[in-house]
Structure 1
Amino acid sequence: MAPLTGDFSYGEWNAVYNALSFGIAAMGSATVFFWLQLGNVSKNYRTALTITGIVTWIATYHYFRIFNSWVEAFEVNEVGGAYAVKVSGTPFNDAYRYVDWLLTVPLLLIELILVMKLPAGETAALSTKLGVASAVMVALGYPGEIQENLAVRWFWWALAMIPFAYVVFSLLVGLGAATAKQPESVAGLVSAARYLTAVSWLTYPFVYIIKNVGLAGPTATMYEQIGYSVADVMAKAVFGVLIWAIANEKSRLEGEGKLLR
C-alpha cells in the first residue's frame, strides 16, 4: 500500500469519488434485487442466485471501505472560489479490492456453473478447477500491484496471466459443449454470461499495467480506480443479472414441463 503521491486536482479526486459511489450503488441495488428474486425461481437455481447476491453484497461492503478510505486520505477545502485537494496523511487502503476479488472471483465462476445445472461430477470438477485457478490468479497479481519497480510489476503480472489465460480459455472454449446442451432459449443467455465474464475480465490486466506504461501520480491513480470500478460492476452486477435471467428462464421451462427437474 504505497503512499499517494503528487498533487490531485479536485476533478481527479471527484472522478474517483463518483466512480466508487457508483460501485456502491450498483452492487448494493443488485444484491437487493437478486435476493428478492429467490422466491421466483425454482429450488434448483436458488443456490446460484443466492451466491450471486453474496458476491455483490461482499463487493458492496468492500466498496464502502474503499470509498471511506479514499475520503479520509484527502482534505478538500474551498480556496478562492475553487476546491483545493491535498493528501491528509491517512493512508488510502486499496488492498480491499484484492480481498474482495479473492472472495468473489471464484464464486462468480461457481454461480455460472451451478445455474447451468450440469451433472454433479462435472459441476464439482469445473467448480474446483476454475475456482482454484481464479484464486491463484488474484493471489499472484497482488504482490505486483503494491510494487513501484516496473520489472517486479511485470513479473507478477506475467505470472498472474497464466491462470487468467486458463480461466478465460475455459469460459470461451471449455464450456462451449456444455452450453450447447442448454435449452435453446437459455443457451444464448449462458453464452452472453460467458462472453461478458471474459470481456470484463480482460479489462483488469490492462488497468493493472497503467502504471507500467509511463503513467504515474494522480492521473494513473484516477484511471486505475475508475477502470477497476467499471470492470467490477460489469463482472458482478451486470453478470449477476444474466445469472438471474438464466435461472428465471429455466424455472419457467420447468414450470411448463419443458425441462427435466
Structure 2
Amino acid sequence: MPNVLSHGQFETVYNFLSLVIASMLFTALFLLVSLPRVLPRYRQAITVAIVVCGIATYHYFRIFNSFTSAFVTPSVGGTGDYSQATGAGFNEGYRYVDWLLTVPLLLVELIAVLALARKVQRHLLVRLVPAAALMIALGYPGEISGDNGLRGLFGLLSTIPFAYILFILFTELGKSLEHQPAAVRGTLSRLRFLLLLSWGVYPVAYLLPLLNLSGADAWVAKQVGYSLADILAKAVYALIIFQVAKMKSYDDDPAFAKVELPTGEPLAPAPTHA
C-alpha cells in the first residue's frame, strides 16, 4: 500500500468504492422487490443473488471505511495529498473474505437457475463450490505477502482450481444448455464468458507487483480493477440471472407470462444462438 495518494488518486478510489456500494445495494433491493416476478422454482437462484449482493454491500462498506481511515489529509477542504494515517492501514482482507463467500455462491446462482435434476445439480455443486473456495483461499497468502516469489507461487496454485472451474463451465455445464429453452441458451452461454471476463480482471490486478508495476498509480489501478470486476461479476451477473429466470418462467407457464408481459408482447423472446 502506498504511503501517499494525490487528491485525484484518493478521489478515484473513493468514488469507485461508492459506486460498488450503490450498485450492490440497489441490485439487491431490485431483486428482492422483483422476486414474485419469477416462478417459485427459479426463486432460489434470485435469492442467492440477493445474498451475494448483500454480502458484497456489507464488505464494501467495511472496505470504504478502512480506506477513508487509512488515508488522511491536513489540508483545508481535503484538496491536498493524502498520507497514510499513523497506526492505520487499508485492510485488503475484507475483499478476500467477501470473495470466499460470494464466488462459490455465484456458481450456485448459475446452477440454480438452470433448474437441473437434483442429482445433476449436486454433482456439479460438489465439484465447483470447493474449487471456488480453494481458488480464493490460495490467492490470499500471496496477496498479503511482500515477497514476489511467494506471490507468484500462490498465484500459480490458485490458478489450478480456476482452470478446473472453467473446464467444468465450458464442458459439463455446456452440455446442460442443450436441455434449456431455446430462448435462453445464448444468454446462458454468454453468462459463462461474463464470469471469465470479470474473473480475469482479478489475476491481472494480482500480478501487478510481479510486473514491476508498483506505487500509488498501480495500487489505485488495482482497486479500480477489483471494483469494476465485482460490479460485473455480482450486480450485472445477478441481473442477467434474473432475466434468464423470467424468460424460463414465461416458457414454463404461458398463463404466468400473460400476467407478467404487457399486452401484445410475445410470450417468449425469439431464440438466440450461442
TM-score, scaled relative to structure 1: 0.94
- The residue aligned with 1:39 is 36
Residue 145 of structure 2: SS of its match in structure 1? coil
Could you say if the C-alpha distance between residues 80 and 126 of structure 1 is closer, same or farther in structure 2, counting changes exceeding 3 Å?
closer
In structure 1, which of residues 54, 57, 65 is the aligned counterpart of residue 54 of structure 2?
A: 57
Counterpart amino acid of residue 35 in structure 1 = L
| Structure 1 residue 79, shift from structure 2 partner | 5.9
| Matched-pair contact (CA < 8 Å) for 2:198–2:233 | yes
In structure 2, which of residues 109, 131, 136 is the aligned counterpart of residue 138 of structure 1?
A: 136
Alpha-carbon displacement from aligned partner over 1:158-211 (angstroms, at most 9, x marks no partner): 000000011112222331110122111011121121111111111111111011
| Matched-pair contact (CA < 8 Å) for 1:172–1:198 | no
Could you say if the C-alpha distance between residues 246 and 80 of structure 1 is closer, same or farther in structure 2, counting changes exceeding 3 Å?
closer
| Matched-pair contact (CA < 8 Å) for 1:172–1:195 | no
Instruction: Please say if 1:7 is aligned against 2:7.
Output: no
Stretch moving more, 5-14 or 106-115: 5-14
Instruction: Please say if 1:48 is aligned against 2:45.
Output: yes
- The residue aligned with 2:270 is none
| Matched-pair contact (CA < 8 Å) for 2:2–2:219 | no
Residue 86 of structure 1: SS of its match in structure 2? strand
Residue 83 of structure 1: SS of its match in structure 2? coil
- The residue aligned with 1:202 is 200
| Matched-pair contact (CA < 8 Å) for 1:144–1:156 | yes
- The residue aligned with 1:113 is 111
Partners of 2:77 and 2:33 lie apart in 1 by 49
Partners of 1:147 and 1:213 lie apart in 2 by 15
Could you say if the C-alpha distance between residues 240 and 129 of structure 1 is closer, same or farther in structure 2, counting changes exceeding 3 Å?
same
Partners of 1:48 and 1:244 lie apart in 2 by 8
Alpha-carbon displacement from aligned partner over 1:212-236 (angstroms, at most 9, x marks no partner): 1111121221011111000010000
Partners of 1:195 and 1:82 lie apart in 2 by 41
CA RMSD of aligned residues (A): 1.8
| Matched-pair contact (CA < 8 Å) for 1:108–1:236 | yes
- The residue aligned with 1:250 is 248
* Identical amino acids, percent of aligned pairs: 43
TM-score, scaled relative to structure 2: 0.89
Instruction: Please say if 1:174 is aligned against 2:188.
Output: no
Count of aligned positions: 256
Counterpart amino acid of residue 247 in structure 2 = E
| Structure 1 residue 111, shift from structure 2 partner | 0.9
Query: What pairs with 1:96-107 in structure 2 (closer than 5 Å)?
Result: 96-107=94-105
| Matched-pair contact (CA < 8 Å) for 2:3–2:83 | no
Residue 37 of structure 1: SS of its match in structure 2? helix
| Structure 1 residue 81, shift from structure 2 partner | 9.6
- The residue aligned with 2:73 is 76
In structure 1, which of residues 29, 44, 47 is the aligned counterpart of residue 26 of structure 2?
A: 29
| Structure 1 residue 144, shift from structure 2 partner | 0.3
Could you say if the C-alpha distance between residues 107 and 82 of structure 1 is closer, same or farther in structure 2, counting changes exceeding 3 Å?
closer
